[in-house]
Amino acid sequence: MKHLWAPWRMEYIQEDSHVEGCLFCSLLAQEDGPGNLILYRGNKVFVVLNRYPYTNGHMMVVPFMHKPSLEGLDDKTLLEMISLASEALGVLRDAYNADGFNLGANIGEAAGAGVKEHVHLHIVPRWTGDTNFMATTAETRVLPEALEVTYQTLLGLWLSRFDNG
C-alpha cells in the first residue's frame, strides 16, 4: 500500500474556521502576498486563490463591494468581474494546461455559499478524467501541488498579463 501525505490539510481539519467579520473584506485589508493569496487587485474587483481548493489553481473573483448577490453590484463591477474571470481562464490554461473549467457563483445559503454575505465567482480548472478513485471511493481530493507553489506560479503569469498592457 502506498501512502499519500498531505500535512498541510491538518490546519484545515483542526482550525476554528470562524472569522470575525467578512472573510473577503479582511483579505482586502491585508498586504497582497502568500498570506492572503491575492493574485491581482483591479479597480473594483480582486482575484484570490481558494485556501481550501477543489483542484490546484482554484481561484475566486471577488468584488471589493460587500454585497450578497450579483444584482447588488454596479455595471462597472460586473464588467470587471467577468473580464478578470476571462483572464483567469487564460492564466490557468497557461499554468496547468486545463482541459475545461467550472465557473460559477453560489448565491445564498440554500445554494451552498460558504461566504453568503459577499458574492464571488469560483473558477475551477478541470482535466479530462480528473475524477479518480480517491474522489469516488474515499470522498477525498488529492492536490499534487502545495498552495504556496500554486500562488507563485499563478502570480507570475497573472502579473505578466497586465505588465504588457
Catalytic residues: 120
For residue 111, the SS3 value is helix
From the list 70, 60, 62, the residue with the least C-alpha distance to 123 is: 60
Q: Are 7 and 119 in contact (CB under 8 A)?
A: no
* Cell numbers found for residue 129: 478524467
- Burial (CB < 10 A; 0-12, 13-18, 19+), residue 111, is exposed
Question: Helix, strand, coil % (nearest 5) of the chain?
Answer: 40, 15, 45
Q: Are 112 and 106 in contact (CB under 8 A)?
A: yes
* Cell numbers found for residue 119: 458574492
> Distance of alpha carbon 81 from its chain centroid, rounded?
13
